[in-house]
């Protein structure tokens, strides 16, 4: 206690000597004159609000980037749309009614806007800053690049206020129904990116209104909110600004003939001869006429050959194991199974999967793979490193073979290197993977290259988890209308096919 008293007296004396009041006004605490749109939007509490220096906590201006562009004739008339990321690196936007003067500013203009005395309000669900005139706006620069984040449609629909008045890109968008010759942008079209449907609105006098609809493209545009019949919710419209906002990805329909819909990579008990993969056919297949091959991969650090897979899916030995499918038939929309010769749903002593569902079972514990792969205690790894599966049309799988579909569990291990020559596991174009980067259009034909990093997280070993990959593919639209999701089912020995082919399972729309 005596020591504390001495130290307290010393600190008090030092404060009096140096002048504590002087140092309490340290200039580093000055308020920025610029308020973030994130903060402005947060100030709205259901009633019109006049913006003052006091309620903006010392700030008086907005520094933001214009994203609207009236040259294309497809913006909401009179609304200047600006955005920033000043707070928490969170992108937010807001609309400013300027009448005809809104067209004097274009995408890439950097503006400073006086905020004092302006009114924050909502009109038809849309957040506005009213009272701004051109005298309140200073243009700092023009032609600035604006990165547009990829925004899946379901996220926009779930939280319209977060994305309102911001520029984003809907990636791999297609239309419902599938465009036919003569279909053009003009009007309201249903755009789907594999996550949800969103209205794409094009005014009749837009410069691209009579342009033909592409099969698949990236769409750069602005999110506008609108009221809905439900008073407590908002709808959205997505508007591109000009024809350059459409980046065509494909004019060809590419329908996968087989889709991976479930994985049993670790049964309850011993794995040997009981692991399997669930597939669905998107067309009638006679495997005797059109053979396929399933290849499983494991990538423990010590698996031979070590390092990156120089021959990709055809690397063989302890890294990849091939099972040919050369007999049997499967109908369009039906599930079928490939894996160990045990042919049971969850290991030894569990429910048998009917022979009519099982197109190939191979005893991988005693038999080498068909063409490559050494006999093994398990097709799939139970560790932090990646394990996965691919399905190929044809049985001659080489380093250059592209799979019809592929799926990975975990992402660790020596999987991909771009140098000195690219080595890795080739991927298909699917809901999870893209042979070309969907934004930059750069080549990325391997797992772990570019944006191809998605995987199913691995769960605890020896629990009998089935990875149910529920999703939806539409044959009429020739696209994924719902990307596969990662669902986990803990199977028992008494579980049946209804548990893995029922609720939450993959759906093929015909």
pLDDT given for residue 15 in this prediction: 41
pLDDT given for residue 29 in this prediction: 58
DSSP 157: H
Contact by Cβ (8 Å): 298, 317: no
Contact by Cβ (8 Å): 240, 221: yes
SS (H, E, C) 242-296: CHHHEEEEECCCCCCCEEEEEEECCCCCCCCCCCEEEEEECCCEECCCCCEEEEE
Q: What angle do CA 337, 409, 298 make, to 5 degrees?
A: 80
pLDDT given for residue 24 in this prediction: 37
pLDDT given for residue 250 in this prediction: 66
* Distance from C-alpha of 280 to C-alpha of 501, rounded to nearest angstrom: 10
pLDDT given for residue 20 in this prediction: 39
* Distance from C-alpha of 405 to C-alpha of 400, rounded to nearest angstrom: 15
Enter the tokens of residue 458: 């691995």
Q: Does residue 229 or residue 77 have the better pLDDT?
A: 77
Question: Whose CA is closest to 487, among 471, 465, 467?
Answer: 467
* Distance from C-alpha of 153 to C-alpha of 284, rounded to nearest angstrom: 32
Task: Indicate the fold that domain 37-141 takes in CATH.
Answer: OB fold (Dihydrolipoamide Acetyltransferase, E2P) (2.40.50)
SS (H, E, C) 382-402: CCCECEEEEEEECCCCCCCCC
* Distance from C-alpha of 231 to C-alpha of 268, rounded to nearest angstrom: 50
- Is the domain defined by 153-250 classed in CATH 3.40.50? no
Question: Whose CA is closest to 279, among 246, 296, 257?
Answer: 257
253-510: same fold as 37-141? no
pLDDT at 10 over 60: no
For residue 462, what pLDDT band results from cuts at 50, 70 and 90? confident
User: What residues contact 494, with CB distance under 8 A and at least 6 apart?
Assistant: 350, 351
Output the average pLDDT for the chain: 91
Give me the mean pLDDT over the 435-456 stretch.
Answer: 93
pLDDT at 3 over 80: no
pLDDT at 478 over 90: no
Give me the mean pLDDT over the 90-94 stretch.
Answer: 97
Contact by Cβ (8 Å): 220, 171: no
pLDDT given for residue 227 in this prediction: 87
Contact by Cβ (8 Å): 334, 421: no
For residue 253, what pLDDT band results from cuts at 50, 70 and 90? low
Contact by Cβ (8 Å): 471, 424: no
User: What residues contact 125, with CB distance under 8 A and at least 6 apart?
Assistant: 225, 226, 227, 234
pLDDT at 251 over 60: no
Instruction: Summarize pLDDT for 38-67 with one digit per residue, the tens.
Output: 999 999 999 999 999 999 999 999 999 999
Query: Could you tell me which residues are beta bridge partners of residue 137?
Result: 113
Contact by Cβ (8 Å): 71, 242: yes
Domain extent listing, the chain: 37-141, 153-250, 253-510
Give me the mean pLDDT over the 341-367 stretch.
Answer: 96
Enter the tokens of residue 52: 């003052």
- What sign does the dihedral 453-457-458-464 (CA atoms) show? negative
Give me the mean pLDDT over the 208-235 stretch.
Answer: 90
Contact by Cβ (8 Å): 112, 105: no
pLDDT at 221 over 90: yes
Give me the mean pLDDT over the 414-440 stretch.
Answer: 94
pLDDT given for residue 178 in this prediction: 87
* Distance from C-alpha of 433 to C-alpha of 304, rounded to nearest angstrom: 27
pLDDT at 21 over 60: no
Contact by Cβ (8 Å): 501, 495: no
pLDDT given for residue 30 in this prediction: 74
For residue 2, what pLDDT band results from cuts at 50, 70 and 90? very low
* Distance from C-alpha of 488 to C-alpha of 353, rounded to nearest angstrom: 19
Q: Give me the CATH code for the 253-510 domain, please.
A: 2.60.40.1260
* Distance from C-alpha of 381 to C-alpha of 385, rounded to nearest angstrom: 7
* Distance from C-alpha of 222 to C-alpha of 231, rounded to nearest angstrom: 23
Residue written as token pair 């579909």: 405
Enter the tokens of residue 122: 């909502």
pLDDT given for residue 229 in this prediction: 80
pLDDT given for residue 458 in this prediction: 87
Q: How many CB atoms lie within 10 A of CB 47?
A: 8
DSSP 353: P
Q: What are the start-end ranges of the E strands in 401-500?
A: 405-409, 465-468, 472-474, 479-482, 487-490
Give me the mean pLDDT over the 353-363 stretch.
Answer: 96
Contact by Cβ (8 Å): 335, 387: no
pLDDT at 257 over 70: yes
pLDDT given for residue 476 in this prediction: 87
Q: Does residue 502 or residue 249 have the better pLDDT?
A: 502
Contact by Cβ (8 Å): 116, 53: yes
Instruction: Summarize pLDDT for 271-301 with one digit per residue, the tens.
Output: 899 999 999 999 999 999 999 999 999 999 8
Whole-prediction pTM:
0.80
* Distance from C-alpha of 319 to C-alpha of 294, rounded to nearest angstrom: 14
């Amino acid at each position: 206690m005596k020591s504390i008293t001495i130290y307290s007296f010393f600190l008090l004396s030092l404060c009096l000597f140096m002048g504590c009041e002087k140092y309490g006004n340290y200039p580093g605490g000055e308020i920025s004159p610029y308020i973030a749109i994130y903060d402005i939007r947060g100030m709205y509490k259901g009633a019109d609000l006049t913006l003052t220096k006091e309620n903006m906590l010392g700030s008086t201006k907005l520094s933001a980037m214009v994203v609207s562009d009236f040259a294309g004739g497809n913006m909401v008339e009179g609304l200047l749309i600006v955005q920033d990321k000043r707070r928490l690196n969170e992108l937010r936007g807001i609309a400013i009614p300027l009448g005809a003067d809104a067209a004097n500013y274009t995408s890439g203009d950097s503006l400073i806007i006086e905020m004092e005395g302006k009114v924050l309000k909502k009109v038809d669900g849309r957040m506005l800053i009213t009272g701004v005139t051109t005298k309140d706006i200073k243009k700092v620069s023009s032609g600035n690049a604006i990165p547009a984040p990829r925004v899946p449609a379901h996220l926009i629909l779930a939280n319209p206020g977060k994305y309102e008045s911001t520029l984003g890109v809907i990636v791999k968008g297609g239309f419902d129904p599938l465009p036919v010759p003569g279909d053009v942008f003009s009007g309201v079209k249903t755009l789907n990116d594999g996550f949800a449907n969103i209205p794409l609105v094009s005014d009749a006098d837009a410069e691209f209104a009579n342009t033909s609809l592409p099969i698949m493209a990236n769409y750069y545009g602005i999110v506008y909110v609108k009221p809905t019949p439900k008073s407590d919710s908002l709808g959205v419209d997505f508007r591109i600004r000009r024809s350059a906002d459409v980046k065509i990805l494909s004019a060809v329909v590419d329908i996968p003939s087989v889709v991976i819909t479930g994985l049993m990579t670790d049964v309850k008990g011993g794995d040997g001869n009981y692991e399997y993969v669930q597939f669905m056919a998107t067309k009638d297949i006679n495997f005797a006429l059109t053979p396929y091959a399933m290849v499983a991969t494991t990538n423990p650090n010590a698996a031979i050959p070590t390092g990156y897979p120089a021959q990709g899916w055809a690397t063989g030995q302890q890294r990849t194991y091939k099972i040919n499918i050369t007999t049997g038939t499967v109908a369009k929309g039906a599930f079928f199974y490939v894996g160990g010769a045990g042919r049971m749903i969850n290991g030894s002593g569990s429910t048998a999967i009917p022979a009519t569902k099982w197109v190939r079972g191979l005893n991988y514990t005693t038999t080498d793979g068909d063409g490559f792969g050494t006999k093994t205690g398990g097709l799939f790894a139970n560790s932090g490193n990646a394990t996965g599966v691919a399905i190929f049309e044809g049985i001659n799988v080489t380093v250059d073979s592209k799979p019809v579909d592929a799926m990975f569990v975990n992402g660790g291990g020596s999987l991909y290197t771009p140098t000195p020559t690219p080595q890795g596991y080739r991927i298909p174009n699917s809901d999870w993977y893209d042979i070309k980067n969907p934004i930059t259009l750069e080549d990325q034909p391997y797992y772990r290259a570019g944006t191809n990093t998605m995987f199913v997280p691995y769960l605890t070993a020896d629990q009998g988890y089935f990875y149910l990959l529920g999703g939806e593919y539409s044959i009429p639209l020739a696209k994924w209308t719902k990307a596969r999701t990662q669902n986990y089912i803990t199977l028992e020995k008494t579980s049946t096919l209804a548990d893995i082919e029922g609720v939450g399972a993959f759906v093929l729309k015909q």
